[in-house]
Structure 1
């Protein structure tokens, strides 16, 4: 007969599950639709040429950031520019940087993930430059956490990597817009920075989560079940 999981174990597992989908430790919620606001390119082609957008944040408490979410659209690059495009990402590069006097500084975390590791969902129908566009939400478990300290300014970046540059990924805006909300953006040619733009309008839409790794949750569950089984045998 399969042993039953003790009620306490079930309650603790439920608590762990709730924590795994807890509220973000930092969030810049998307601008109210259908207009997606100012959109900045964060996309490389196969020669590592393109654009990379970055936005700053700081936390009220220390956190081990192990899950990130963001929102964006795909746009065509053929004339006339910027019609709705289909997702063409092969991989995603996620970075955290230290702050250097109000601009992105030293690299603190960088990892590239296959597109299959990212959960993409249709968020809503949007409008960009007067054109209807598909708006997507993206969700990624980092696998290894980034330790962020309270009160320290950091820069977060997510970049699409693809074979070509049409369509290209655009990171949509957070809202409501406030004066002084800016995104830092670099242009690249063959992996080399060719331009910097420190005052792109509007914050980016993203959220950061401090959650336990799935393996830790599974091990905790196994431990609780085992402990319950031992107590049952002892009682017998």
Structure 2
């Protein structure tokens, strides 16, 4: 095999591997305030009484591999005893959450890390790597819901962000409310596998032309 062919194949592998490792993240950063919306499953007293949703749209087809978020405990100076988080992605119908597309339960408190004690609420950061990624199609609106399981009197809320379109929802005691504002979360993503295949095919075609002679205009 000629040296330039071997170099092209090595380059192809490096580019494909680099694309897989690169992220095209979606971010709605916490705005640093005490504003938060109650989202909680209380297994002992109230059950699945509160769930908050926020929307997002990606400009290209990507697989969501990790989710990070900010939330806190009202009038609770320390960990309120979260046993698990439920991470869900929903389809959209007329700018509202519709059908459940993806659901994953994260055991424990998802790396709960103290951010700030604001008096009325103590804020924490959370993060999880999804066991199976969620494929989000380009220019398609989706909804993310994040809901911990913990017992009263501890009460948890999903923190707010100044990034987004101001559209959000909360299910509370069996009713759905249209809540203005955006929630604080970050999605880590990687290109959908077929995109990497197309990149590899393109490089392979270039390598073939190089083998047979110089590239022509």
Task: Report if TM-score (shorter chain) is over 0.5.
Answer: yes
8 Å Cα contact 2:116/2:124 also seen in 1: no
Q: Distance in 1 between matches of 2:49 and 2:152?
A: 8
Q: Distance in 1 between matches of 2:106 and 2:147?
A: 10
Which one of the candidate residues 103, 107, 111 is aligned to 1:114? 107
Q: Distance in 2 between matches of 1:132 and 1:104?
A: 30
Which one of the candidate residues 15, 18, 21 is aligned to 1:19? 21
Secondary structure (helix, strand or coil) at the match of 2:21 reads helix
CA deviation digits over 1:185-206, x for unaligned, max 9? 1024xxxxx11101x1310000
Q: Distance in 1 between matches of 2:76 and 2:149?
A: 19
Q: Distance in 1 between matches of 2:76 and 2:106?
A: 27
Aligned pairs for 1:40-189 (under 5 A) are 40-46=37-43, 48-75=47-74, 82=75, 84=77, 86-115=79-108, 118-122=110-114, 124-127=115-118, 131=119, 133-162=121-150, 164-175=151-162, 181-188=166-173
CA RMSD of aligned residues (A): 2.8
CA deviation digits over 1:193-236, x for unaligned, max 9? x11101x1310000111149xxxxxxxxxxxxxxxxxxxxxxxx
Q: How many residues align?
A: 178
Which structure has the larger Rg? Answer: 2
Q: Distance in 2 between matches of 1:139 and 1:211?
A: 17
8 Å Cα contact 1:69/1:137 also seen in 2: yes
Cα shift at 1:62: 0.5
Q: Distance in 1 between matches of 2:88 and 2:107?
A: 15
8 Å Cα contact 2:77/2:117 also seen in 1: no
2:199 maps to 1:202: no
CA deviation digits over 1:126-153, x for unaligned, max 9? 42xxx25431110100110111000001
Q: Distance in 1 between matches of 2:30 and 2:49?
A: 24
Cα shift at 1:45: 0.5
8 Å Cα contact 1:85/1:167 also seen in 2: no
Q: Distance in 2 between matches of 1:182 and 1:65?
A: 21
* Structure 1 residues without counterparts, runs of 5 or longer: 1-7, 76-81, 189-193, 213-236
CA deviation digits over 1:149-179, x for unaligned, max 9? 00001000110012x1221210000126x8x
TM-score by length of 2: 0.72
